[in-house]
Amino acid sequence: MSFLKVSNIQAKIENFLLKNISFELEKGQILTILGPSGAGKSLLLETIAGFYAPTSGHIYLDNQNITTLPVEKREIGFMFQDFALFPHWTVKENILSPIKFSKKYKKTNLDPEEIIKMLHIENLLDRYPSNLSGGEKQRVALARSLITNPKMFLFDEPMSALDARTRENLRDELLHILKRLSLSAIYVTHDHVEAFTLGDLVGIIKDGRLIQVGKKDQIFRKPNSVFVADFIGIENIFPAIIISVKRISSELYSIKAKHQQVILEIYSKEEISVNKEVFLCIRSEDIVFLKELEEKNDKHQNLLRLKVDDIVQTDFYYKIFLNGEISLKAISLQETIRKYKINIGKITSVYISPESIHIIKN
Amino acid sequence: MKNMLNSKRIHFNWLFLSFWLFAMVILGFILLPLLEMLFEQPIDLVLKAAQMPDVTHSIFLSLEASFITAIIAAIFGTPLSYILARSQFPYKSLVEAIVNLPLAVPHTVAGIALLFVFGRTGPIGRITQNFGISFWGTIFGIIVGMLFVSLPYMVNSARLGFESVDIRIEKAARTLGASNSQVFFYISLPLAFRYILSGIVLTYARSIAEFGAVIILAYHPETAPVKIYELFLTGGLKQSSAAAVLLLLVTISTFILFRYLTNFNKSRS
């Protein structure tokens, strides 16, 4: 059995329903759960932690059924938003608080001194939480949880109140610590960059339902619904109709799909019936700009000539809005823009490889 | 420099100026009568009043009864305020209304209602009589009257304190092995303590001031407000105002002392 197995959890918390949540997590893996606010992310975590009892379903952790265990007996570390340090206690008192609460933590196999050293908080011990930076708070909160020697960690958007730069630093640090101690964790966030940076597995939650869960790359490349595709940041999603399907090797099909007047070729491992209405997803980084010379070489199906409507600079790349027989958003580095002479108002040629287009069937 | 003055004039906030004028009226309305009474009073009359045993007794009785009332209010009001701050239950708004009811009931009416329960024939008065405790004309009656009218201050203040504690801090404690009661005594209570203390101060101040409910339950022994009322009836303004000034000085100084103690607590945490 997996290290953590959540099977068919249903829960009703005030007026909110968690519906049929199932997933599994191996030891040392990190699952990030991504969803808009109000999707039930925190409630799912708090149900796993034991603050709410599921109305049906089971939770197994390390071969033990913990579905009905009280919070303090689950051996699960929980990191809340802003880290929820006890403001009236010093860092040292915070870190040793589990020993104050329960004698059983006196004999954990992790020595408090060792944890303090590992997380570099020796010189913070006499300070109060209000005098700590975001990074220091995170390390103190981790240390405080590690004293209880938890079997796994739950993170409820601990960094959502911090600024982008600090968040990035803390994320790297956190990942480093979790991987070093090979800790299993579930990390909840509404930020897809955070979700894909931290997670080995990614789950998408909406309206109390886990819509898709799987390996990070699987979710990134093959979202199972328009909602997931949109939420993980795929810029180009449009309806199309399948017009032909041809087997080109033992496990690959060449599929042609039509959106308005544009016909695109797609390579897929799955067969699909002709005339089916589907959605096509193209990541903006998969739209390739071609030099003028290459334009003449018109052997590819997926070659499009589009007008550049606008170019917008973001932090380190440019967003290019293309329009014509189809509207697309592409991204590109400044160098490419200069080299390929991409200018607003000009017609440019782009190519989309058949492997990079993903079909959403429903 | 000239430019700075000019820009200040352009951005002059007329709204705040006019609001300050209104605010001055209120502040003056509160302070003026008290100051007038204080300064119109010859100091020797106040000192004389301080030497009258029945006046000093009444002031000490007021302080004693108010102090006991504040402690009882804290002991019984804190659990209710924690329930109100932390749990949802059917008819919660009804419970909240009950808590605030004493604010709406005229205090003489409250005193009469209390007699129905704590009087010699009332359900509680009858039982306590067997242990020699009577609420009619005793300090117990005074405390009961004070408690009834001041409890809302205690409960509301402590509730505000518990609501100000981030619930995630309490939940974090649970995941670190704390039981529900450990969460309350180690986390919620210390973090809400300043509000509870300020509830105690408010209860105390409200109790010293109470007249209506107390005079119905216990004309004797006389608390300070009752004594002052009696002096006013028998000796007029001159007789009563010396005792009034004395009471004012005592209550204000204890109030300032308590405020100082609660603020001291604030600056430490």
Domain-wise residue ranges, chain A: 4-231, 236-360
Contacts 24+ apart (CB under 8 A), A331-336: A331/A284, A331/A285, A331/A287, A332/A289, A336/A289
Where do runs of H (alpha helix) occur along B130-188? 139-163, 167-175, 180-182
Mark which residues 148-167 of B lie under 8 Å from A by CB. 166
Give CA–CA dist A299/A263, Å, rounded: 14
Over the stretch A273-296, which tens digit does the pLDDT of each residue have?
999 999 999 999 999 998 754 555
Q: Which residues contact A150 (CB under 8 A, 6 or more apart)?
A: A75, A76, A77
Query: Tokens 């960690």, residue?
Result: A153
Give chain A's length. 362
Contact predicate A317/A332, CB 8 Å: yes
Residues from A contacting B (CB-CB < 8 Å) are 14, 46, 49, 51, 71-72, 74, 76-78, 80-82, 84-88, 97-98, 100-102, 104-105, 144-145, 147-148
Over the stretch B213-224, which tens digit does the pLDDT of each residue have?
999 999 989 999
Under the banding of pLDDT at 50, 70 and 90, the label for residue A297 is low
Over the stretch A154-210, which tens digit does the pLDDT of each residue have?
999 988 888 888 888 889 989 998 998 889 999 999 988 899 999 999 999 999 999
Q: Which residues contact A17 (CB under 8 A, 6 or more apart)?
A: A10, A11, A208
State the Cα angle at A84 between A83 and A85, rounded to 5°. Answer: 95
| ipTM for the whole complex | 0.84
pLDDT at A3 over 80: yes
Kindly report the CATH number that applies to the domain delimited by A236-360: 2.40.50.100
The model carries a pTM of 0.85
Contact predicate A22/A6, CB 8 Å: yes
pLDDT at A362 over 90: no
CB atoms within 10 A of CB A286: 18
Give CA–CA dist B236/B229, Å, rounded: 9
Taking the C-alpha atoms of A92, A98, A101 and A103 in order, what is their torsion angle to the nearest 10 degrees?
-110
Give CA–CA dist A242/A255, Å, rounded: 7
A118 to chain B, minimum CA–CA distance in Å?
20
Beta strands A76-79 and A30-34, pairing class = unpaired
Residues of B in contact with A72 (CB under 8 A): 174-179
Domain A4-231 belongs in CATH node 3.40.50.300: yes
Q: Where are the domains of chain B?
A: 63-221
The CATH number of B63-221, from 1.10.3720.10, 2.40.50.100, 3.40.50.300, 1.20.120.80, is 1.10.3720.10
Comparing CA positions, the residue from B254, B239, B241 lying closest to residue B208 is B254
A95 to chain B, minimum CA–CA distance in Å?
10
Beta strands A347-352 and A303-313, pairing class = antiparallel
How distant, in Å, are the alpha carbons of A19, A249, B75, B146, B196 from that of B68?
54, 90, 11, 10, 15
